[in-house]
Structure 1
Amino acid sequence: MGASLPHQAPGPESARAGVRAAFGAPDDDLSDAQALDHAVAELVRRTRFPVAFGGLVLDGAIHVTSIHGARTHSLDGLVVEAARGLGGRALIEQRPRLAIDYRSARSITHDYDRAVLGEGIATLFAVPIMVTGRARGVIYCGSWAEAPVGDVVARPAFAVADELSSELRIRDEVQRRLTRNRGAAAPATLPAATREGLRETYAELRSISAIVADPAVRARLDRLEHRLAALSQDPAEQSVELDVRLSPRELDVLACAALGSTNAEIATALDLKEGTVKSYLQSAMAKLDASTRHAAVVMARRAGILP
């Protein structure tokens, strides 16, 4: 076929470690590669394709670190260069690409036939992961027989791609703020503007988490929220210990109130009725033994409940 051999890495675990290192995420922490792996697993669960794989972009190439449903090891360690193969085209064109009969497809290069055909894939569907206007990776769905790809298949694949895109965008913003403030965290207090920015990001995370149905994604967002809350704590403020547990919605509403939002603005942000917002606020105030929303915010921050 005249196809060149795909670049091979030592194996999927080594590739994952490399991606973690490249993105500055410690092995024991939640990484972009783990978010990708969850998305690839969701592709198999939500679509009719039996095999799915994907990778993030590193040094201009797609490093496949997650594979689910494969019958062979042909895809292990695959690295796809930009513009090469189906995924490489999807990467540079920033749009999904489909090869119903991959073996005979003429619109793509066949650099990676040994990996794709070695797995026995006949139909391959590649979707780029777009984050703030650039492709951060590509996820693939494959079948071992030729299969048409209509809305029934495409919609859930696009949904998975959108969810991963949102998570990576949030992680990028958190990492950007953490990196910017890593050297400034030693002083007694963070600059007021920095702390306010962290609090705005926290409130945005809460509003996004409120509409996410996937419990695994919600757990990831919750972990990011705790990191932000810890980072933005003011050591100059006297901390208190409270045996108080706010419900997720009470916390959502209080986080928005902490930014000075009105009940109407909070209702719009969280897709709630204004009366419901008022009820959640009153409940949070009662639990925190606060007579005003401002006092509730102050108490929640001193207790480490809010950033």
Structure 2
Amino acid sequence: MNAFEQVASEADLVAQAVRELVRRTRFPVAFGGLLSRGEVAVTTIVGNRTASLEGLRVQPQRGLGGRAMTELRPRMTQDYGSSQQITHDYDGFVLGEGLRTLLAIPVVVAGRPRGVLYAGGWEAAPARGVAAAPALQIADALAAELRIREEVERRLHAADAPVLPIGLSAAQREELRQSYAELRSIAALVGDPAVRERIGEVERRILALSSPPPATTARATHLSPRERDVLACAALGQTNAQIAAQLGLRESTVKAYLGTAMSKLDAPTRHAAVARARRDGLIP
């Protein structure tokens, strides 16, 4: 995936969030964008009557959205034109559309602003709490997706680092195993098939680097993706409860997956299952 495709994918996420704002709040207008090169370029506008909001670019600390990004919390005004709590750098855009009420919600990832979503109306706003609650949920969902994508990209880039031909130390092998387990848990949360495929490719490379050649057997063992997930976590010494928390499963479900994996691998214990899965190149 090249840089343009990544930007386009993030723009699609913003567009979905903006549409959700109109659907789930009582505001008729919504717009937003992500922070890039020191400013937010609004990439999606829904419900507008004019073209006034087109081309809007918001800088931190400027306007209602800039204040929301700086303070990392939502800001709202019920009379935008007369508000003395914000700068009015963007009056031409907002008042040009005729908006009176405006809610700005920052998209916060790892404690830093990544963008801002707006919901507005031409008349008086609905009750503040009624409007803000679903808007916050939408912004949080967008932030969670962006956080997952950033972690995936970080690990994809880390996996591109060359491995010395002298082999892996015990510490390097353990780091690969931890990375593999985390990638498996991240992949379960990613909805984008292209991103999941990239994660899968990195997982296969990790297996090739960290596992010995599979043992020759009369019949290759096949584990389901979830069985590999729980075994990869078990290989790190995690309990069923810890595995369930990491993978978003019930503890009883984790126990069931471990049981079927042990049965397929003809292993009497989870430790034996991990050892045999490693021997067969199924996990690192």
Is structure 2 residue 63 aligned with structure 1 residue 72? Answer: no
Query: Which secondary structure does the structure 1 equivalent of 2:53 belong to?
Result: coil
What does residue range 140-179 of structure 1 map to in structure 2 within 5 Å?
140-179=118-157
Look up the equivalent residue of 2:141 and give its one-letter code: E
1:226 alignment partner in structure 2: 197
**Counterpart selection for 1:235 from 202, 208, 216:** 208
CA distance 1:219–1:272, change in 2 (3 Å): closer
Is structure 2 residue 254 aligned with structure 1 residue 277? Answer: yes
CA distance 1:98–1:54, change in 2 (3 Å): same
How far is 1:142 from its partner?
1.1
The alignment of Structure 1 onto Structure 2 pairs a total of residues equal to 269
1:212 alignment partner in structure 2: none
- Highest Rg: 1 or 2? 2
CA contact (8 A) 1:25 1:31 kept: no
Look up the equivalent residue of 1:119 and give its one-letter code: E
Give the Cα–Cα distance (whole angstroms) in 1 for the partners of residues 145 and 231 of structure 2: 23
CA distance 1:268–1:93, change in 2 (3 Å): closer
Task: Tell me the TM-score normalised to structure 1 length.
Answer: 0.73
How far is 1:161 from its partner?
1.1
Task: Tell me the TM-score normalised to structure 2 length.
Answer: 0.78
CA distance 1:124–1:183, change in 2 (3 Å): same
Give the Cα–Cα distance (whole angstroms) in 1 for the partners of residues 279 and 20 of structure 2: 40
1:260 alignment partner in structure 2: 237
Give the Cα–Cα distance (whole angstroms) in 1 for the partners of residues 248 and 156 of structure 2: 29
How far is 1:223 from its partner?
4.6
What does residue range 100-139 of structure 1 map to in structure 2 within 5 Å?
100-139=78-117
CA distance 1:245–1:276, change in 2 (3 Å): closer
How far is 1:97 from its partner?
0.7
CA contact (8 A) 1:285 1:296 kept: no
Instruction: List per-residue Cα deviations over 1:242-293 (Å, max 9, x = no partner).
Output: 896837x65653453343323233244456554432222223555xx32233
Is structure 2 residue 21 aligned with structure 1 residue 48? Answer: no
1:291 alignment partner in structure 2: 266
The percentage of aligned residue pairs carrying the same residue is 45
Instruction: List per-residue Cα deviations over 1:153-185 (Å, max 9, x = no partner).
Output: 211111111111112122222222223343427
Q: Unmatched 5+ residue regions in structure 1?
A: 1-19, 210-217
Look up the equivalent residue of 1:150 and give its one-letter code: R
CA contact (8 A) 1:129 1:136 kept: yes
1:11 alignment partner in structure 2: none
Q: After superposing the two structures, state which structure 1 stretch, 67-76 or 228-237, moved more.
A: 228-237
